[in-house]
């Protein structure tokens, strides 16, 4: 099997959610202007909308990763970091939606007595998503409101891949062509199993 290369997708869910929020803020600013005659309400709503948009854009603009699938390993690369996962170590790869991925990671970190990552829970969560370019909302600046809006977007379903391993170092990935990625990984696992039998 020839090595197959996959790029990560870039989704702008936080920015889209914040656009909706900005529209609401601007309407509230205009209502404040008409009810009090004070222009500061509009200025404050514009300022908050711009700051929020900047934060949302920076969260959506995660660095891109590259995934290579060959007959012996899954290789993950992101800005100078390289992680090699042997095909023999992979249990399965499945499509997962953001909320399920978030719940899985939180559950794994909170159970984590035999956690291979060890250390601070935030660092362990970051390790799960290190090679994922999609913000799944592990931390929220909107007290969960933006996360709920994003989770309900029709395109937010099944855009991630959870790779589970025997060593417990599971990874959440975001390949551009997720179905093709899962099929390539499954094919490599079948070929590896056939070669070892």
Residues 104-150 have pLDDT tens digits of 888 888 876 455 555 677 788 888 888 888 777 766 554 455 556 56
User: Measured between alpha carbons, how far apart are the two ends of the chain, in Å?
Assistant: 18
Task: Please check whether residue 131 is in contact with residue 76, taking contact to mean a CB–CB distance below 8 angstroms.
Answer: yes
Residue 76's pLDDT is what?
A: 93
Rounded CA separation 150/156 (Å): 7
Report the mean per-residue pLDDT for the chain: 81
The model carries a pTM of 0.69
Evaluate if residue 153 carries a pLDDT over 80: no
Residue 20's pLDDT is what?
A: 85
Residue 180 binned pLDDT confidence (cut-offs 50, 70, 90): very high
Identify the DSSP state of 164.
E
């Amino acid at each position: 099997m020839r090595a197959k290369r996959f790029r990560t997708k870039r989704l702008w869910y936080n920015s889209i959610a914040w656009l909706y929020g900005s529209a609401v803020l601007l309407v509230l600013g205009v209502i404040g202007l008409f009810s009090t005659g004070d222009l500061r309400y509009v200025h404050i709503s514009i300022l908050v909308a711009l700051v929020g948009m900047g934060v949302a854009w920076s969260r959506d603009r995660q660095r891109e990763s590259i995934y290579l699938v060959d007959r012996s390993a899954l290789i993950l690369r992101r800005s100078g970091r390289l992680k090699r996962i042997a095909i023999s170590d992979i249990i399965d790869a499945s499509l997962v939606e953001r909320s399920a991925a978030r719940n899985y990671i939180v559950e794994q970190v909170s159970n984590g007595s035999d956690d291979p990552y060890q250390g601070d829970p935030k660092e362990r969560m970051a390790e799960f998503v290190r090679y994922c370019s999609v913000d799944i909302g592990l931390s929220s600046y909107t007290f969960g409101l933006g996360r709920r809006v994003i989770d309900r977007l029709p395109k937010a379903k099944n855009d991630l891949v959870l790779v589970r391993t025997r060593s417990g170092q599971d990874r959440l990935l975001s390949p551009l062509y997720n179905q093709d990625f899962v099929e390539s990984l499954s094919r490599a696992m079948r070929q590896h199993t056939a070669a070892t039998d």
